[in-house]
Every structure is written in C-alpha cells, then in structure tokens.
Amino acid sequence: MAVDQRLEMARVEPGLAHGLDDAVHRIARRRERLGVMDLSGTSIERDEIGEGAADINGDEGQGNSFLRGKSCRFAGAAQGPAFAIVAGKGGPIMKNSKWLVALAAALVLMAGPAAADQTLRVGKAVTNAFTFTPLDVGMKAGIFKAHGLAIEEYNFGGSAKLQQGLAANSIDIGIGSGPELSFVAKGAPVLGVAAMAGKPALLCLVVSDKGGIKTVADLKGKTVSSSTVGSLTTWLVRELSRQQGWGPDGIKIAYLGEEPEQLSALFTGQTQGATVQIAAGYRLEQEGRGRILYRYGDIQSHFIIHVIFARKALIASDPDAVRKFLAGWFETIKYMETHKDQVVEVAAPIMGVSPELAGRAYDELMPTFSRDGKFDPEALKVLARSYVEMNLLPQEPDMQTLITEKFLPGATATQ
C-alpha cells in the first residue's frame, strides 16, 4: 500500500486474527529498522458494541468492535492525530485487547514509514484580494494537505514584486494576474499554468467624496494610483484611459503598492482616484468617505484577471507538485461554492472588512472563478493586443508559448 493512500476502513474477518499476537514483536523490530512512527503517539481506545448495534459504516451485526479516532489517515505527527478504524463483524473476535494493538501495528506496517507533506512556497501578488483567498480557505479546510502539500504562504506588494520573487526562487508558485504574462514574454522564468478567474470584477476605481471627481470624464490628466509597474491595476487604469480616447497615458499613474497606501494618498489629496478591490469600495461608501466611480468588471467582455504561475524549474524537476497544487486549488473552488459561511469567516479578516461586506464580495465574485483553469483564446488575444497598445512589448507575443494547460485536473499528457 502506498504511503500516501488513505485508509478509510480496514475490515477484519475472523480468520485474519490468527497469529497476530506474534505480530507485535515483528512490527516492533521492523519499526526500529525503518523508523515507522506510532499512531501519532495516541492511545488506542477499544469499544465493544452490543448485539444489534450499528458499526462505523452503519451496518448492523453482533459483537462489533472498532478502534476509533478523529482521522482515518496514517500520518506523521505534523498532520495531527491519526487512527486506524477497524470493524469486526459476527461475534467476539476482538475480546483480547492484544488483538487490537496487533492490528493497529499491522496497519502501520502496511502504510510504511510516515511521510511528511511536500512543502510548496506560494505567493500572492497582494495580500487582501478576495480572489486570492482560496489559498487560505484550502489551507484551513485541509484540502491542500489532502493532496500531500504543506503550503508556505507569502504576500507581495504587487505583480512586479511577485514576479521578482519567482525569478529569485523565493517562491515556487505565484498567484497573480493575466497582464503579468507580459513578464513571461520578456523572459521571466515562469509559465502560466492556470487561468483561475475571468472578468476583473474584483477591482473598482474609487474617489473621495471631497475630491470633485463626478464622472470618469473628469479623470483626464488626473492621477490615479495602482500597485506596481506592469500590474493588473496598472493595466486597468491604462485600458480605461485608452477606451476614453485619451491613449494609455491620458490618466497619470502613481505606483503606491497595497490598498492602505493608495487610500491614504487619496484622502490626503495626493491622488484623485485609487484602484482597489470591490469590498474596499463597499466599505468607503458605508463609511461615507468615498464612492465607487467605475467597476472594472465592465471593461472587457473577454478577460483573464488572474493566472497561476509556476517556475519553469519546478515544472521540470517536479511536475507532480504543480498538478497537486492545481488539483487542490480547483477542489477548493468547488468547496467554496457550497460553504459561504466558512469562506467569509476566513476571508473577512484577510480583506480587512466586516463579514457582511465579505459576504457581498463572495456573492459578486464567486461566479468569476474558473472551474477548469483553461485559458480563453479570446481573452488571450485581448491581452496580446494590449501589450503593444500600452507599449509594454514591441509586438504581440505568441501567447501559447507563455502558458500551458497540461497540469490542469483532467488534462492528458499530450496537452
């Protein structure tokens, strides 16, 4: 049995109990040679169920006995308590507690030495975006752990800093934006491995109630903040300017990093607008300090707001780690669809808003998540064209050289 296989239930028939008294000594000797860990140092509890009682699977029988615990997974101490559940049917086959100990030891031997989860360093372009919270939700729900991954989370102050972290081998996986594919075209040592969200409904342009900006037309020649050069927020401000007929530089941009710095500049009059997540816009309106002037979700009908990046070195050396991460990610999205309360509990403090506003963001943004991670060809064309229009690249890149879909759940080896 492979070490990472889950042991959901081990049924024991009467004939298998013969000779297990000697197994304790054999297992002890083998544990010394292989370093097999005890069942997380936990004691084994014996519970005999009387006639007609239901066993752990709900089956009825006589004299059923089982070992019970919080988890059915063999694991090292880092994973917490782990027990084997054993059910016997049809009579008093487990009357001596020695059989229980022997069976537990035998199951440990079948599982082999305890295996630690694989550590994967994952970075977010920004800290508080709702659309990046699947990483935190999946960690808390144990979904990445179920795929054998121990996530180390890192937060960056924008797309450029995230890509610097990837290039410096400070992280293995980066959760960033579609416009960051331009970094790949310029030689960044990464590939986009999943398109994880579509239209940019996460973001909006907010203004102060005292700033004198009434409509988008009032922004011509004014200064709006974004996070960093080459970031999603910068792309959106420049695209808004272009669509107004002012060219990509019709709105001045101040690169100020995270939202607190951007909002501070807005309310001290250093800027006339800020590009922030939608929940921050909700909060400003609730507090009476500002309002949402423009929702960027309306800027393009085909778009890729977020892309998951993997270092090419990781892809070459450990492609299965990329597969496991993406499997965990999209399993988390599925979990989030039916667990709003749990998502809001995790997301609200990360976003810095109340549970009420986090719930509004959940309702508005959950539909934007991709369920399969595939790259929309039309959205890729929009990005490729924009790189030239915004003077990021001299010509449109071959977008297929910047991405791969072969690590997505269900993908075939030839993709």
- Give pLDDT tens digits for 228-254: 888 889 999 999 999 999 999 999 999
For the ranges 27-36, 101-110, 175-184, 223-232, which has the lowest average pLDDT?
27-36
Q: What is the pTM of this model?
A: 0.70
Q: Does residue 56 carry a pLDDT above 90?
A: no
Burial of 208 (0-12, 13-18, 19+ CB in 10 A): buried
What percentage of the chain's residues is helix, strand, coil (to nearest 5)?
40, 20, 40
21: confidence class by pLDDT, cuts 50, 70, 90: very low
Whether 203-298 and 118-199+303-401 are alike in CATH topology: the answer is: yes
Q: Which residue has the tokens 């917490």?
A: 80
d(CA 187, CA 402): 10
Output the CA angle 110-4-409, nearest 5 degrees.
Answer: 145
Domain at 118-199+303-401, CATH class: alpha beta
Q: Domain 203-298: what homologous superfamily?
A: Periplasmic binding protein-like II (3.40.190.10)
Sign of the alpha-carbon dihedral angle for 291, 263, 129, 350: negative
The ranges assigned to domains in the chain are 10-111, 118-199+303-401, 203-298
286: confidence class by pLDDT, cuts 50, 70, 90: very high
54: confidence class by pLDDT, cuts 50, 70, 90: very low
Q: φ, ψ for residue 70 (rounded to 5)?
A: -80, -25
d(CA 415, CA 409): 12
User: Do the beta carbons of residue 93 and residue 61 sit within 8 Å?
Assistant: no
C-alpha gyration radius of the chain? 27
390: confidence class by pLDDT, cuts 50, 70, 90: confident
